[in-house]
Amino acid sequence: MSRIKTLQSLFKRYRRPGDIVFAWFFFVLSIGLLTQITDQTAYRAGSSMMAQPRFWPAVSLVGMCFFAALHLVGSILSERIEGRWKEVILWLSVIEFAAWFVGYAYVVPIIGYLPATVLVSLLLVVRVGYRSRTILFSAVGVAIIIVLLFKTFLQVKMPAGQFYDSLPDGLRQIMLIYF
């Protein structure tokens, strides 16, 4: 095995199918952030340039723009790889699971921590393709263990569900404290 590398082999670029899309997105994002620097940071009269609150954010954003431009130029000049949009769709599929989490956070104050956790765990298990009874019961069990761990043992404060208000007093108190 040779340990001697040429300069060209050290900086060899391995492209992925969605590289050009990522390069454009990052370049536009960095330019957009740089254009907002004057609105988002302050200028202090009488301070040295290095002590300005705007200086180091501006340095980092100029660097970000420069390296994003280099990445974009490198992506444009490289050979085209098939499967670009398939890769982009794979990236965007991650947003679905972020939406599941946002939905879960929205539902917890309405139906409560325990029912929301059980419901979302069941829906996610079905979403990823599991349909057997064993897996579904396991998902419910894991959800209950998670609720007991966080709410009962660790005593993490969670919002009480509006649904809990309709329960009888004794059960309501137990659900508010432990579930």
Query: What pLDDT, on the 0 to 100 scale, is given for residue 10?
Result: 62
Q: Is the dihedral of CA 152, 157, 163, 169 positive or negative?
A: positive
Q: In the predicted model, is pLDDT for residue 172 greater than 80?
A: no
6: left (phi over 0), alpha (psi -120 to 50) or beta: beta
CA–CA distance, 35 with 158 (Å, rounded to integer): 40
Over the stretch 56-86, which tens digit does the pLDDT of each residue have? 999 999 999 999 999 898 888 877 778 878 8
In whole angstroms, give the CA distance from residue 110 to residue 163: 6
Crossing angle between the packed helical segments 84-111 and 113-127, to the nearest 10 degrees = 160
Q: What is d(CA 113, CA 150) in angstroms, rounded to the nearest whole number?
A: 10
Note the pLDDT tens digit of each residue in 20-31.
888 999 999 999
**How close are the terminal C-alpha atoms of the chain, in Å?**
60
pLDDT of residue 156: 85
Length of the chain measured in residues: 179
Q: What is the mean pLDDT of residues 87-100?
A: 88
101 HSE (CA, 13 A, CB side): 5
Distance (Å) of CA 63 to CA 13, 16, 34, 93, 107? 20, 23, 10, 30, 42
pTM of the model: 0.60
